[in-house]
């Protein structure tokens, strides 16, 4: 396991490596909505007062996600780091092509990590040899989406042995009908939600844990007071209550995701498309990543798994035709360069893991 965990959004690394100023890049290296929630000016007391845990945010989040209860945390990362010590030590299944923070967090808490390849998630008996299972649904970067029935069957098997299904729904806001948030009060089920992707508010560091009350209380006690800053809480309350913006954004992202997938196919690629990103396995992914970067388009590059292909993940361009045109032209040049033999290699950064 690499000790260095890297994520998308590392634009400064591209700036230094390709000597192109930051303002001259089309940064598609994350799966974050590039046209996120329009944050208004906040009242002064959001900055001046200590965060108020009884400001209604927990209840508003529970209502927004259809969950019995919710605990606000400083992004999903806070839960990922602090949840493993609260679960009984055991064998934890974690995808090898998935969010890279889970495995080290569980390992630090004394759990045994069981790496899972993508084909493993098609097995009905996946939970049989595990004490806990982490599922990112939809998965990042592969786009794999599992139906509620499959997840509930795994949860029932784990819970019967005192185990836990940790369900990361960071990308679920685009397809809320597939969420298990409404069932999160069941013992052995933990659902994580975040404002970072759909709302495009990764910088506020605000997410929510949906789980049974006893586990939420234990996690709250471990995190302590003021885990989410006052301005972040104020923004979260506004975004979660804005149902009109949510509905319009859901429609916009579905259309944009379809457009991105179609564009990639037009250039001879075979993407797995989702509303917020497309994932492109390709034998020449390293070269394609490099060719796009030389034109100022920054994508996310992933190592090849055992028996698989390296891959790229491309987030959505902003909702400006000039940005989409730039991507289209860059893809045309990059794919042509590869097909005609311009195969200058890129240097793959160490610890190249998904975010």
With 60 as the cut, is the pLDDT of residue 231 above it?
yes
Based on C-alpha coordinates, what's the Rg of the chain?
20
Instruction: Please give the pLDDT value at position 106.
Output: 98
Provide the total of helices (H) and of strands (E) in the chain, helices listed first: 11, 13
* Domain identity same for 75 and 205: yes
Closest CA to 170 of 162, 179, 161: 179
319 and 181 assigned to the same domain:
no
| 68/184 Cα distance (integer angstroms) | 7
Angstrom distance (rounded) from CA 155 to CA 163: 8
The verdict on 84 and 156 lying in the same domain is: yes
Are 107 and 28 found together in one domain?
no
How many independent structural domains does the chain possess? 2
pLDDT at 307: 86
Determine the average pLDDT of the residues in 314-335. Answer: 97
Residue 38 has pLDDT above 70, yes or no: yes
Over the stretch 56-84, which tens digit does the pLDDT of each residue have?
999 999 999 999 999 999 999 999 999 99
Rounded CA-CA distance 102/286 in Å is 25
Query: Are 210 and 257 contained in the same domain?
Result: no
Residue 65's CATH number: 3.40.640.10
pLDDT at 248 exceeding the cut of 90: yes
Tell me, yes or no, whether 154 and 289 share the same domain: no
Range(s) of the domain holding residue 229: 44-241
**Among 241, 275, 298, which residue terminates a domain?**
241
126 closest CA partner among 156, 171, 86: 156
Least confident interval from 3-17, 91-105, 128-142, 184-198: 3-17
Tokens linked to 305: 């798994």
The answer to whether residues 220 and 198 touch, using CB atoms and an 8 Å cutoff, is: no
Residues 149 and 180 in one domain: yes
Average pLDDT rounded to a whole number, residues 281-298: 96
My answer on whether 59 and 116 are in the same domain is: yes
Pairing relationship of beta strands 311-315 and 300-302 according to DSSP bridges: antiparallel
pLDDT in tens, 157-189: 999 999 999 999 999 999 999 999 999 999 999
Handedness of CA 172, 199, 78, 311 (dihedral sign): positive
Q: Is the CB of residue 173 less than 8 Å from the CB of residue 132? A: no
* 355: in domain: no
Could you tell me the two tokens for 53? 């845990």
Residue ending a domain, among 190, 214, 241, is: 241
Three-class secondary structure of residue 131 per DSSP: coil
**Domain stops at, among 207, 241, 275:** 241
Report pLDDT for 349. Answer: 41
Q: Which helix (H) or strand (E) holds 352?
A: none
Give yes or no: residues 169 and 306 share one domain: no
What mean pLDDT is reported for the chain? Answer: 93
Do 254 and 274 share a domain, yes or no? yes
CATH number of the domain at 311, please.
3.90.1150.10
With respect to residue 212, please indicate whether it lies within any of the assigned structural domains: yes
Query: Rounded distance, CA 300 to CA 297, Å?
Result: 10
Measured CA to CA in angstroms, residue 50 lies from 45, 54, 55, 216, 226 at distances of 9, 12, 11, 22, 7
Q: Is residue 347 part of a domain?
A: no
Asked if residue 197 and residue 58 are part of one domain, the reply reads yes
Percent of the chain with pLDDT over 90: 91
pLDDT for 10 equals 85
Which H/E stretch holds residue 79? helix 75-82
Asked if 215 and 111 sit in the same domain, the reply is: yes
């Amino acid at each position: 396991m690499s000790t260095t965990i890297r994520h998308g959004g590392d634009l400064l690394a591209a700036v230094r490596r390709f000597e192109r100023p930051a303002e001259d890049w089309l940064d598609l290296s994350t799966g974050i909505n590039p046209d996120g929630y329009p944050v208004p000016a906040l009242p002064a007391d959001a900055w001046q007062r200590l965060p108020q845990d009884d400001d209604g945010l927990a209840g508003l989040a529970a209502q927004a996600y259809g969950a019995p209860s919710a605990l606000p945390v400083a992004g999903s990362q806070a839960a990922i780091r602090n949840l493993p010590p609260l679960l009984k030590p055991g064998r934890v299944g974690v995808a090898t092509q998935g969010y890279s923070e889970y495995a080290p967090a569980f390992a630090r808490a004394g759990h045994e990590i069981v790496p899972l390849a993508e084909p493993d998630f098609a097995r009905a008996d996946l939970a049989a040899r595990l004490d806990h299972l982490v599922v990112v649904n939809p998965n990042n970067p592969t786009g794999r989406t599992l139906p509620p029935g499959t997840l509930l069957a795994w949860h029932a098997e784990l819970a019967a042995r005192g185990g836990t299904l940790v369900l990361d729904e960071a990308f679920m806001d685009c397809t809320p009908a597939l969420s298990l948030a409404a069932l999160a009060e069941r013992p052995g089920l933990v659902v994580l939600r975040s404002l970072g992707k759909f709302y495009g508010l990764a910088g506020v560091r605000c997410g929510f844990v949906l789980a049974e009350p006893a586990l939420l209380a234990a996690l709250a006690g471990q995190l302590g007071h003021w885990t989410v800053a006052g301005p972040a809480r104020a923004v979260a309350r506004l975004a979660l209550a804005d149902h009109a913006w949510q509905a319009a954004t859901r429609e916009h992202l579905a259309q944009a995701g379809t457009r991105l997938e179609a564009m990639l196919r037009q250039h001879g690629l075979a993407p797995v498309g989702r509303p917020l990103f497309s994932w492109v396995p390709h034998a020449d992914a390293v070269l394609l990543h490099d060719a796009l970067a030389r034109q100022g388009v920054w994508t996310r590059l992933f190592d090849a798994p055992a028996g698989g292909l390296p891959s790229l993940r491309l987030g959505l361009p902003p909702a400006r035709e000039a940005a989409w045109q730039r991507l289209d032209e860059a893809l045309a040049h990059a794919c042509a360069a590869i097909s005609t033999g311009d195969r200058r290699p890129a240097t793959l950064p160490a610890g190249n893991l998904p975010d």
